[in-house]
Each structure stands twice: as structure tokens, then as C-alpha cells.
Amino acid sequence: MLILEQNSNYVEISSDSGQPDKSQNRYLPHGCQDDNVWRRIFVPTYFTFIAAYDDPWVVKDKDAVQALQKIWNRVYVGRQNGVDIPHTVLVHKAVFKVVRLFLLM
């Protein structure tokens, strides 16, 4: 069950366990949104994966996590532009949750 708590500036979503929902950009790894790389490169690349998936309406979490990790490593780790943001993509963490929300928009 999700619980909504309204603050003066935003609505906080948390589970009944009291943990905040990580499906908000503010929980993404630091630096991944710099130069709009998240929206300009990372998310569209994931959409390309979804479009090529056997059944884009039913993407297995395991397949999504593997694809997101490969994309993350290519976009954010060891790039010539100096970007180096190592991260492990997990189902219950922000990268997975936020990018999946883009699919609902």
C-alpha cells in the first residue's frame, strides 16, 4: 500500500513500511542528470530496447535490469567526457523505478 503525504512543495510517496518511494528524480545517482544526459540519452536508449523487445507490454524485470545496467555502463562509466558514475541497477532502486515511470507518461 502507498501512503501520500502532502508537503507544502511536493507530495511524498511512501510504502506502508515507512520507506519513501524511490520513483522520483531526486533519488537518482548524483550527477546522472547533468547536461540532461538522463533525458537526452539514457531514457531514449531504454525506450529503443523496449521497442525492440518481443512483447514491449510485458518486459520481465530481469531483462529490464540487465538492459538498464548495460545502458548505464555505456552512458555513465569510463566515458571520455570525464563522466564516471558507477551504479548497480536494482528493481527496488530509483534508476529502475524512474525510467519505468517514463513509460507511463
Phi, psi of 49 (to 5 degrees): -60, -45
For residue 103, the model assigns a pLDDT of: 80
For residue 21, the model assigns a pLDDT of: 64
pLDDT tens digits, 45-98: 999 999 999 999 899 999 999 999 999 999 999 766 667 899 999 999 999 999
- The predicted model scores a pTM of 0.76
Q: Which of 64, 84, 62 is nearest to 74 (CA)?
A: 84
Q: Rounded distance, CA 40 to CA 12, Å? A: 26
Q: Rounded distance, CA 42 to CA 103, Å? A: 13
State the average pLDDT over residues 15-32.
Answer: 76
C-beta separation of 3 from 10 below 8 A? no
